[in-house]
Amino acid sequence: MDQRAAFARARSFLNYHPAGKWSALVAGVGTGVFYVGLLLLLGLFIDATVNRGQVPAYHSLRRAEQKAFARDWKDPATHFPNTGTPEDVLKESVPAAEKAQWLATLADLKARVRSGGPDKDRSARDKQKDKAARDKQPEPAPLPEAAALRLLLALQNVGQ
């Protein structure tokens, strides 16, 4: 029997049952979509295998990929559409009592970033106070029990 004739005969049987005909067509389309999905999943698996599940570092990208990344992230706010300026976020999320403190901290941080770092804005007196506070903090006391605990654990492992 010719292949075309066999296909025509099978199709003629399906024409008697419209539900069977349409379910066969839907199953064919579903199989195609499922196949494409499995190919995408295989691609993700191969990518995870090659990169060992890690996101590659910027310096290990090719030059074209680095340029594309820099171009895409030139304005990072476009990747986060529900965010606004820091002042707007503070207005919406911080209680009124703390708003002034947070705005002052934000202005201080912006000034530090513009000036080139935290040390340029600080006076010598502030630096001395910080150094005195660091020197005043006591060192943690050594634990004499640590050696005894290690010995106890070692003896416990020997007995097993």
pLDDT tens per residue across span 47-67: 888 888 788 888 888 999 999
Is residue 7 situated within a structural domain? yes
pLDDT, residue 110, reads: 77
Number of domains in the chain: 2
Domain that residue 22 falls in: 3-50
The rounded percent of the chain whose pLDDT value lies above 70 is 59
Quote the mean pLDDT of the chain.
76
Is residue 27 situated within a structural domain? yes
Is residue 79 situated within a structural domain? no
pLDDT tens per residue across span 102-159: 777 777 877 777 776 555 545 666 666 666 666 666 665 555 566 666 666 666 665 5
Is residue 102 situated within a structural domain? yes
pLDDT, residue 104, reads: 78
- Alpha carbons 76 and 72: distance in angstroms, whole number: 8
Is residue 129 situated within a structural domain? yes
- List, in order, residues 6 or more apart from 2 with CB less than 8 Å away: none
Its pTM stands at: 0.35
pLDDT, residue 98, reads: 72
How many Cβ atoms sit within 10 Å of the Cβ of residue 24? 13
Give the chain's length: 160
- Nearest in space to 18 (alpha carbons), one of 8, 26, 29: 26
